[in-house]
With several copies, the nearest count.
Chain A
Amino acid sequence: MKLHEYQAKGIFADAGIPVPDSQLAESVEEALDAVDEIGYPAAIKAQVHVGGRGKAGGIKIATDRDEAETYAEEILGMDLKGYTVETVLVESGVDFVDELYVGVTMDRGEGKPVLMVSTEGGVDIEEVAAESPDAIAREHVDPAFGLHPYQARKVVYNAGVDADVAGDVASIVSTLYDLYEANDATEIEVNPVMITSDRDVVAADAVMNIDEDALFRQPKLAELEDEAYEDDLERKAGEYGFDYVRLSGNVGIIGNGAGLVMTTLDLVDYYGGAPANFLDIGGGAKAERVTNALDMVFSDPNVDSVVFNIFGGITRGDEVAKGINEALSGYDELPKPVVVRLAGTNAEEGMEILNTDLLGVEKTLEAAVQRAVENAKEVSA
């Protein structure tokens, strides 16, 4: 789960990390009220989960009220890489002389959190990592011991941070690690940490991603989950308890098991179609879950055709078929063509009893996907 910049900064501020003064605004008036209070220069920052907001025009610095109004009008409601900006953070502009990058993330290969500090902050850190990996100092943290204080210092000194601010930056690194651990984060990133002409350090941006699997023990963060959704269908999937990702194509995909659903997406692409979503309904395929899954794909206006791919496994194919039929009992006609493919234990028995008045049925994954792609082409033609 990705937190918005303003949410992450709230958490930072509570932990004692210096952040600029800021206010949230959902309209141009609110933005102007905020900027009147905060003063100039003021940054107006789109609150959407999109990398490279600045380059894409989602962050502007206003030096007077006219600029503030222009920028607020520009940004509020703009489409940023597919997301509509509904909220901006109006933030006091920081007069900085230097920018650092500071991050904490999980190094999967090592199975350990890693601290990262670079003096090449303020730019795309991925590019820095790719082009001059030595410009990023790294320090792995042993998850049993947690962070030793010397490690925060070491990564800061190794990065070559100026001596006069090294202590303050180490203190930010240390606090970020504490937050990483306490909040079950998967990633925390501040890019840039700004160094002002007075040699103060300020966290000028904030990225904080939370491990969804840990929300059960992070009740405060779980409350933010709803605000974190940026798409009504993703919100709905969250309510239904589905793993769901919205994509830009027109073939809706329902399946069980992450690897098999991904494979189904890939095959849609392979056979010339474009997947509209990833939707994993998990094991079993009980009627209620099938009903909800169909609701998801049917209510997505981009979807022209659906492929439903279930590998039965322990759950027998005839039981899966019964669940599907029960879910279909509310329909006289399906709003979009659906092709079903059952496999695994008792798959043939299952396919025999499927309601073929409403559904197309195919025996192989390849055939089912090809037919769904054709259906989509026909509908959208």
Chain B
Amino acid sequence: MSIFVDDDTRVVVQGITGGEGKFHAEQMIEYGTNVVAGAVPGKGGQEAAGVPVYDTVDAAVEAEDANASVIFVPPAFAADAIFEALDTDLDLAVAITEGIPTQDMAKVNKRLGETDTRLLGPNCPGIITPGEAKLGILPGNIFADGNVGLVSRSGTLTYQVVDNLTERGIGQTTAIGIGGDPIIGTSFIDALEAFEADTETDAVVMCGEIGGEDEEQAARFIGEHMDTPVAGFIAGRTAPPGKRMGHAGAIVSGSGTGTAESKIDALNDAGVPVGDTPEEVADHIESFL
């Protein structure tokens, strides 16, 4: 089993005629993902990455019965693309775009509360259920089918941890990058809740980082609601306050909220071991299995 995506997922790629969109659509298809259409205004009737392109997401969903979207649209137009996706009652929209203004995302967040569509991201690498479907830009070859779930705010850090797991022969049910922005559609808790409910997921890796209080909330959720063991990692222990560490969301506030220490403490309080290095995370997971 898996969470959020599997081989029944039918994907429309927004921005499929752009460089990134086309490349990754091809990569997704190569991985075996069921990419059924593209959506780009003004490009309706064309073909890209071997699938038909429609002018609107609505038309693509209607014609190809898609139930998920992956969004490769530049930051200035990305919020609009997300609104368009949310308007078509998809099950899942994955926003890869980095650099969407936060106030745009606040508006998107409001709309999210009015729909049943799950948004993943933005500023995320996407989601993969190894051997079934890949929505996003994750490098498929480092993943392996297995029984560990992974949820992370970061892309390459995810790859690092997955690499450590796969090298030990530990595969994954689903790996999810929830994104490095301050306002994102799917939280740690959303993913953890789904992993807890997934009968094939026997352990979960949660990679957090500085900024915000999502990890603290997730820690409380784990303590109160999860039987599946979780191992944690928190990036940014050495980050100074007030500085944005690459991710728009990775910032320790002047008041000292959002520190790695606070997150690590919260996880430890919930019985979640936190690795000092990615290898240690893999050690903890190995010990759970």
> Is there a direct interface between A and B, measured as CB atoms under 8 Å apart in the complex?
yes
- What are some 9 contacts across the A-B interface (CB < 8 A)? A157-B44, A213-B102, A214-B104, A255-B156, A257-B156, A258-B209, A259-B247, A262-B209, A262-B246
B248 within 8 A of A: yes
Q: Nearest Cβ in chain A — how far from B61, in angstroms?
A: 12
**Complex: A214 Cα to B102 Cα, angstroms:** 8
Interface: A121 (CB within 8 A) = no
Q: What residues of chain B lie closer than 8 Å to A261, measured between beta carbons? A: 245-246
Among B210-234, those with CB < 8 Å from A are 210-214, 217, 233
Q: Bound state CA distance, A163 and B254, in angstroms? A: 32
A278 engages B245 (CB within 8 Å): yes
Q: Pick the contact of A130 from B101, B104, B152, B255 — CB < 8 Å?
A: B255
| A214 in contact with B255 (CB, 8 Å) | no
**Chain A interface: which of B106-114, B168-176, B198-206?**
B106-114
State the Cβ distance, A136 to closest chain B Cβ, in Å.
11
User: Can you list, as one digit per residue, whether each of B153-167 has a CB less than 8 Å from chain A (1) or not (0)?
Assistant: 111111110010000
Knowing A154-B56, A313-B138, A344-B139 touch, does A262 contact B103 (C-beta < 8 A)?
A: no
Whether A150 pairs with B247 at a CB distance below 8 angstroms is no
Contacts of A256 in B (CB 8 A): 156
Collect the chain B residues with CB atoms within 8 Å of residue A113's CB. 103, 106
A129 lies within 8 A of B236 (CB):
no
- B-contact bits for A108-135, CB 8 A (1 contact / 0 none): 1101110000000000001001100000
Contact of B44 among A163, A257, A263, A364 (CB under 8 A): A163
Interface flag for A106 (CB, 8 Å): yes
Q: Which residue of A lies closest to B210 (CB)?
A: A262
Contacts known (A184-B103, A265-B238); A154 close to B58, Cβ less than 8 A? yes
* Complex contact B101–A111 (CB within 8 A): no
A150 vs B239: C-alpha distance when bound (angstroms):
39
Give the distance in Å from the alpha carbon of A100 to the alpha carbon of B160 in the complex.
48
Cross-chain contact of B42 among A163, A214, A275, A313 (Cβ < 8 A): A163
Bound CA span A109–B211, Å? 11
Please choose the segment from A13-21, A56-64, A140-148, A351-359 that sits at the chain B interface, where 4 or more of its residues have CB less than 8 A away: A140-148
Interface assignment of A53: CB less than 8 Å from any CB of chain B: no
A272–B258 Cα distance when bound, in Å, is 24
Contact B239 A259 (CB under 8 A): no
A266 proximal to B (CB < 8 A): yes
| Pick from B76, B107, B210, B260: contact of A216, CB under 8 Å | B76
Q: Which of B106, B111, B153 is close to A106, meaning CB atoms less than 8 Å apart?
A: B106
Assuming the A-B contacts A154-B56, A214-B101, are A262 and B236 also in contact, with contact meaning beta carbons closer than 8 angstroms in the complex? yes
Give bound CA distance, A126 to B252, whole Å. Answer: 13
Contacts A106-B102, A166-B55, A213-B75; is A366 near B84 (CB within 8 Å)? no
Residue of A nearest to B234 (CB): A266
When the two chains form their complex, are residues B75 and A153 in contact, meaning their CB atoms are under 8 A apart? no
Residues of B within 8 A of A374 (CB): none
Q: How far is the CB of B217 from chain A (nearest CB, A)?
A: 8
A365 B246 Cβ-Cβ under 8 A: no
Q: Quick one: which of A145, A158, A214, A217 has the most chain B CB within 10 A?
A: A214
Docked pose: A313 CA to B141 CA in angstroms? 9
Assess whether A72 is interfacial by the CB under 8 Å rule.
Answer: no
Please indicate the chain A residues that have their CB under 8 angstroms from the CB of B111 in the complex: 144-145
Add 6 more A-B contacts to A163-B44, A261-B246, A311-B163 (CB < 8 A).
A112-B109, A262-B210, A262-B250, A266-B237, A314-B24, A343-B163
